[in-house]
Amino acid sequence: MLSQFKWMSMPQKQVKLIDIANKLNVSIGLVSIVLSGKSKERRISDELAAKVIETAKALGYRPNQLARGLRTGKSGIIGLLVADISNPFFGKMARYIENEAAKLEYQVMFGSSDENPEKLENLVNMFASRQVDGMIIVPVFQSESFLLSLQEQSIPFVFIDRYCEGVDEDAVVSDNYLGSYQLTSLLIKKGYGKIAAFANDLHLSNIKDRMHGYTTALKDSGLNYPVEDFIFEVDFDQLDTRLEAMLKQALENGCDAFFFANNKLGISSLKYFDKVGLTIPEDIGIVCFDNPEAFQVAKPGITCVEQPIELMCAKAINILSRKIEGKTESKPERISLPGKLIVRESC
Amino acid sequence: MLSQFKWMSMPQKQVKLIDIANKLNVSIGLVSIVLSGKSKERRISDELAAKVIETAKALGYRPNQLARGLRTGKSGIIGLLVADISNPFFGKMARYIENEAAKLEYQVMFGSSDENPEKLENLVNMFASRQVDGMIIVPVFQSESFLLSLQEQSIPFVFIDRYCEGVDEDAVVSDNYLGSYQLTSLLIKKGYGKIAAFANDLHLSNIKDRMHGYTTALKDSGLNYPVEDFIFEVDFDQLDTRLEAMLKQALENGCDAFFFANNKLGISSLKYFDKVGLTIPEDIGIVCFDNPEAFQVAKPGITCVEQPIELMCAKAINILSRKIEGKTESKPERISLPGKLIVRESC
DNA sequence: TTGTAGGCGTTATCAC
DNA sequence: GTGATAACGCCTACAA
């Protein structure tokens, strides 16, 4: 009779410390001590401790982390702020952060800024409001002032993927300069003479470093042309509308090779080249920073640099947890980890 | 002198209700009322309200959501439990969930189960412990009993991507049957006669439905061969070691076309086919459920079904928020949303 | 229209 | 060894 209404069965009240205290006729404090694993140092008798633990399990007790957090001042949550969680690069980052955080018993909350400083600020404020113990932040253009003010507050954070000019805070990034230098040099070695560079936002530290690697490789090879004419900037939100036009222009400028500063640009351009019937690597050479799955499947495979995401995340969490525990006597540092050059057939 | 020690400047104490109450010589309750936007209904004078809001802003007040949550019983957090956040499919899902949740002022916490029921259970328990207001769950094989027990508790949840046999709870999935039927039918129409199907875990509801679409399409076309010999199951963690062997066996069995039940299988197989020099679509035909970026870039492009992830997420959050608000008079339902068939050149 | 006080579930500091 | 009791920061009857 009742079973057909099972789906509207009443919520069960959460069991709390006092419930198990009552059941055992002991004080609530005692239960708290035992369940937070301090039986030994408080010298609670083994049998009592065992009984407490047992009935806690029997009753299905689950500590209320809100209450615990309020009392202890630690939420056990880490905030991850990326540009866009649906970008596979950040997706992988989220996964590794999750893994590393779990080892330290942290849960992770995430947010996507869409490279928008207001969104980032909002998210950071929300996270702070939720008392996250720390944050891992991918800073965006024009967020300096806000991030500076964040430093004044008590909540620790570390940058990842890019650092923020003017904000002296720990950061762990891949070696954008080196990777780009290698990629560009390879293009040159293969005989390409006019190499265009495409980037999304020339203000970002990682992109700057990539561009620096590109220009330096050109200079070192004695290649000499007005580099400004060969660097193209395309915002992600203009990708569909403007990318093709710029690609076309680069081609008209006589470019015979392309260095893409991130996976999205690379992938979108691939489609364009296919559409207009350019063959790679004969007509044009291609290299790209970052190694999405598409580059392995593409024909020819795309030569690229794979970022050491896992290592970056481990390092970031490591630094962050030390900061959270307050043992950070050292000055902030910028850690730059080398990626892996993956040579395929696109140049 | 001091500036060089800026990086070790002292944390600032969080400003709270009482701070702004003191500053204004009003009671803390008054401040609370104003800041939670209840000035009107409590008929607080406009000027007082304005003053409160102003100094709150001036002092940089940020409500402590732990305290608020403890008091109100709502954390404002939604838990998202996927198989693996680094899988682009789930990454996109996370993004849309984030967007939808933000509209309702929810933050989202995520966790990856790796298709492992113990991990899922742990994560769900942690989330419950953190008092999430609700969860969106991608159920995994052998999690029925645990999920049933979760139903007994007061925390609302909804399934996404797959439902869970034996657990009568709301679920929103893509129309796995239909998509697979279309894909398989297309293969048949193109003249392929022996079609193998590859899947990761035949126990999962979505995979089951995909297999059902595949087998039904075969039957409807009068194709008659021992289907059991043409269905291959490869776990994700065996991908590298076993996939190739199975692909090889399928080929030896005379298969001339392949239906892949998810993007990972499809992408990995593509690499194999390339390695052994099979040309698509001449030697073999290929279709796949799900539309990762790689399939657009691959040559030839891979025919596939794109899942309506955005719609699924909107629906899921919609249902969940109604449940959270307690207005759910209806029985749980399983919503199945059709995807989009994308025909490319792989068959 | 505003102030007071109790309590949300825990932890921690005391006494006993 | 164990048990009261006071916070943590906020909300919300209920008084005034």
Kindly state whether residue B279 falls inside one of the protein's structural domains: yes
Across the interface, whether the CB atoms of A130 and B296 are under 8 A apart is answered no
Nucleotide showing the shortest C1' distance to residue A64 CA:
C9
pLDDT score recorded for residue A229: 82
Asked if B334 has any chain A CB less than 8 Å from its own CB, the reply is no
- Nearest CA to the C1' of D5 belongs to which residue? A29
Phi, psi values for residue A232, rounded to 5°: -120, 135
Same domain, B33 and B90: no
Q: Which of A107, A109, A274 lies at the smallest CB-CB distance from B126?
A: A107
Distance CA A183, CA A165 (A): 25
User: Does residue A68 fall inside a structural domain?
Assistant: no
| Structure tokens, B186 | 């297309």
CB contact under 8 A, B154 and A95: no
Q: Is residue A30 part of a domain?
A: yes
Percent of chain B with pLDDT over 70: 96
pLDDT confidence of residue A330: 80
Task: State the smallest CA–CA distance between residue A211 and chain B in angstroms.
Answer: 25
Give B 107-136 residues with CB within 8 A of chain A.
107-112, 125-131
Asked whether the predicted pLDDT for residue B6 surpasses 80, the reply is no
> Is the Cβ atom of B94 within 7 Å of strand C at any atom?
no
On whether both A234 and A324 belong to a single domain, the answer is no
| Chain B residue whose CA is closest to A323 | B8
The CATH number that applies at residue A58 is 1.10.260.40
Residue A298 forms contact with B (CB below 8 Å) = yes
Any strand C atom closer than 7 Å to B71 CB: yes
Question: What b/e readout covers A275-314, taking b as 16+ CB neighbours within 10 angstroms?
Answer: eeeeebbeebbbbbbbbbbbbbbbbbbbbbbbbbbebbbb
Same domain, A166 and A279: no
Q: How confident is the model at residue B175 (pLDDT cuts 50, 70, 90)?
A: very high
Whether the predicted pLDDT of B251 surpasses 70:
yes
**Do both A227 and A109 map to the same domain?**
no
Tell whether omega for the bond before B156 is within 30 degrees of 0, i.e. cis.
no
Instruction: Return the pLDDT at B10.
Output: 47
Residue A70 belongs to a domain: no
Which nucleotide's C1' sits nearest to the alpha carbon of A33? C11
The Cα–Cα gap between A284 and B90 comes to 35
From the C1' of D13, which residue's alpha carbon is nearest? B29
Within-domain flag for A345: no
Q: For position B40, what pLDDT does the model report?
A: 86
Q: Is residue A132 part of a domain?
A: yes
Say yes or no: B147 and B97 in one domain. Answer: yes
Is A147 within 8 Å of A168 (Cβ atoms)? no
For range B152-168, the mean pLDDT: 95
Which residue among A20, A36, A62 closes a domain? A62
Does A146 lie in the same domain as A247?
no
Q: Which residues contact A272 (CB under 8 A, 6 or more apart)?
A: A243, A244, A247
Confirm whether any atom of chain D, the nucleic acid strand, is less than 7 Å from CB of A48: yes
Determine the distance between A27 (CA) and C16 (C1') in angstroms.
14
The predicted pLDDT at position A6 comes to: 37
CATH of residue A150: 3.40.50.2300
- Chain A contact set for B84 (CB, 8 A): 95
Nearest to B166 by CA among B145, B186, B141, B193: B145
Nearest 5°: the CA angle B43, B47, B52 is 90
Chain B hits for A107, CB-CB cut-off 8 Å, are: 109, 111, 126-127, 130
Inter-residue contact B113 to B138 (CB < 8 Å): yes
CA distance A101 to A80: 11
- How far lies B93's CA from each of A137, B178, B270, in Å? 21, 21, 25
What are the residue ranges of helices labelled H in chain B? 17-24, 28-35, 46-59, 65-72, 88-103, 117-129, 144-152, 176-189, 205-220, 239-252, 263-275, 294-297, 309-324
Answer yes or no: do A203 and A324 share one domain.
Answer: no
Residues A83 and A104 in one domain: yes
Asked if A220 and A299 sit in the same domain, the reply is yes
The total of structural domains in chain A comes to: 3
**pLDDT at residue B236, rounded to an integer:** 87
At B12, the pLDDT band (50, 70, 90 cuts) reads low
Do β-strands A107-112 and B107-112 pair in parallel, antiparallel, or remain unpaired? antiparallel
The alpha carbon dihedral of B138, B144, B146, B152 has a sign of positive
Answer whether A153 touches B (CB < 8 Å).
Answer: yes
State whether A290 and A221 are in the same domain: yes
Task: Report the distance from CA of residue B49 to the C1' of nucleotide C2 in Å, as an integer.
Answer: 12
Statement: the CB of A43 is under 7 Å from strand D = yes
Residue B239 lies in a domain: yes
pLDDT at position B13 is 75
- Chain A positions in Cβ-Cβ contact with residue B6 (cut-off 8 Å): 168
A195 and A164 assigned to the same domain:
no
Say whether A260 sits in a helix, a strand or coil.
Answer: strand
- Residue A303: enclosing H or E segment and its boundaries? strand A303-306
Please compute the mean of the pLDDT values over residues B307-334 and round it to a whole number: 93
> Which nucleotides in chain D lie less than 7 Å from some protein C-beta?
1-5, 7-13
Give the pLDDT score at A15. 93
Are A187 and A286 members of one domain?
A: yes
> Is B26 a member of any domain?
yes
Closest nt by CA–C1' to A28: D3
List the domain range (segments joined by +) for residue A49.
Answer: 10-62
Q: What is the mean pLDDT of residues B223-246?
A: 88
Q: What is the pLDDT of residue A305?
A: 98
pLDDT for B14 equals 86
The reply to whether the CB atom of residue A44 sits less than 7 A from any atom in nucleic acid chain D is yes
Nucleotide at minimal C1' distance from the B21 CA: C3
Q: What is the pLDDT of residue A2?
A: 33
Smallest CA–CA separation between A130 and chain B, in Å?
5
Sheet of B340-342: strands edge to edge? B231-233, B195-199, B257-260, B285-289, B303-306, B340-342
Beta carbon of B70 within 7 Å of strand C? yes
Say which range, A62-76, B143-157, B321-335, has the weakest mean pLDDT. B321-335
Chain length of chain B = 347
B239 band by pLDDT with thresholds 50, 70 and 90: confident
Collapse the DSSP code of A174 into the 3-class scheme (helix H, G, I; strand E, B; otherwise coil) and give the result. strand
Measured between alpha carbons, how far is B85 from B93 in angstroms, rounded to an integer?
Answer: 9
Average pLDDT of chain B to the nearest whole number: 93
Q: What is the pLDDT of residues B49-62, one digit of tens each?
A: 999 999 999 999 99
**Token pair for residue B119?**
């991990």
Q: What is the pLDDT along chain A (347 residues), one digit of tens a residue?
A: 333 333 344 456 789 999 999 999 999 999 999 999 899 888 899 999 999 999 999 999 999 999 999 999 999 999 999 999 999 999 999 999 999 999 999 999 999 999 999 999 999 999 999 999 999 999 999 999 999 999 999 899 999 999 999 999 999 999 999 999 999 999 999 999 999 999 999 999 999 999 999 999 999 998 878 888 899 999 888 888 899 999 999 999 999 999 999 999 999 999 999 999 999 999 999 999 999 999 999 999 999 999 999 999 999 999 999 999 987 778 999 999 999 999 999 99
Task: Establish whether the CB of A74 is closer than 7 Å to any nucleic acid atom in strand C.
Answer: no
Read off the tokens for A137.
């932040």
Nucleotide minimizing C1' to CA distance for residue B29: C3
